Amino acid sequence: MTPAARVEAAIELLDVIIPAARGKGAPADRIIADYFRARRYAGSKDRRAVRDLVYRAIRLCGPVPDSGRAAMLAVAGQDEAVASLFDGSPHGPAPRAEGEEAAKTALAPKWLAAALRASGLGGVEIAALLGRAPLDLRVNALKADRDSLTLPEPGEPLVSAQGLRFASGTAVEQWEAYTEGLIEVQDLGSQLIVEALPIAAGDTIIDLCAGGGGKTLALAARLGNATNIIAADTDKRRLGNLAPRAARAGAAIDSTVLLDPGREMRALGPWAGRADHVLVDAPCSGSGTWRRSPEGRWRLDPAELARLNALQDHVLKLATQLVRPGGSIGFVTCSVLDAEGPDRITAFLAQHPGWSAEPLTLPLGRPRGGGIRLDPHHDGTDGFFIACLRSP
């Protein structure tokens, strides 16, 4: 592909990604993968260059652009090399018309930027949410140890017990250590959260929003499989990925439970009032993961945030039905918005007399509204909020 053809391909992709984001459709990475799967002629350098152009445009445009062309014109406005490729050459974009406007640039839509500032984030912290994320690994303590494991590339040891950091894009999935379950891809913040939870060997732990099981596997590794873990989720596809992952990692998961939204206790009834700890890794906006999925700013609007807040309150209420007296709930969101962290804790404590927010100890992060917040600028992690709630 010529440089101009790469720009045109980025425009085509953005023209699919923009409406998908508006309609809560497929994520950008899946759209890009499907695009190149149908275009085998594009080489690895072409794919990388086009992908970089697409994500450069997404990061630059806070408000949702009207079109892929407008988004790429915004990139061209900051890069003469890109601007020169709007030359009408074969397979390239047409020249910029007189008066043709580029998409507006900003860190986030106005309402969302205001919500971030109200959550105590300044411009530097917000900008860090849109940087490039490194690749963090957790060495699986069920099978290996960070200090003795030899990998194809040396990693930077992290403050977590088994964490290593590599450059973004490192192809760890091709390493023998990955296929043998010696390592797992997991952000440092997620590793620290599991290490901070008040759990012990012999506990019954319910991972209420387990998803693909990243934290579930980390729980098993932390306690050496000397625990009873129940992984539950409403997403059949994601929950189905847990069994092969657990087998590869050597992690003992006692039960996987598929939940029917709104009727969750029908499946969770056997564990009602029996759990020592319930981990609520709640569905959220993902504002803390914009380094990986910057189009998430385009997917979020006030109505969607309100829906997520109601869902967060719902899963917390479910957790209270599962935890034993004196047990605890770990509430986690991969968000930096107070609406998805401190505000949920305040609402929960107001509605559940006798419960209390219990301090947690992490080597990174800062106290925020009854819990701790991690963010890329200060901690080099994804953005997270974690709080621990103790039952009376």
CA-closest candidate to residue 211, choices 280, 141, 292: 280
Instruction: Give the DSSP letter of residue 173.
Output: G
Sheet holding 156-157, edge to edge: 156-157, 163-166, 135-139, 183-185
Whether residue 334 lies in the annotated active site: yes
CB-count exposure of residue 150 (10 Å: 0-12, 13-18, 19+): exposed
Cβ within 8 Å of residue 356, ≥6 positions away: 349, 389, 390
Report which residue type is found at 233: D
What tokens were used for 109?
Answer: 């839509």
Indicate which residue of 61, 209, 284, 334 is catalytic.
Answer: 334
Report which residue type is found at 383: G
Report which residue type is found at 339: A
Angle, nearest 10°, between helix axes 28-37 and 44-60?
150
CA-closest candidate to residue 22, choices 51, 53, 63: 63
282 touches 311 (CB < 8 A): yes
| C-alpha angle 322-337-341 in degrees, rounded to nearest 5 | 25
268 touches 322 (CB < 8 A): yes
| C-alpha angle 255-236-313 in degrees, rounded to nearest 5 | 80
Element (H, E) at 14: helix 3-22
Catalytically active residues, by annotation: 334
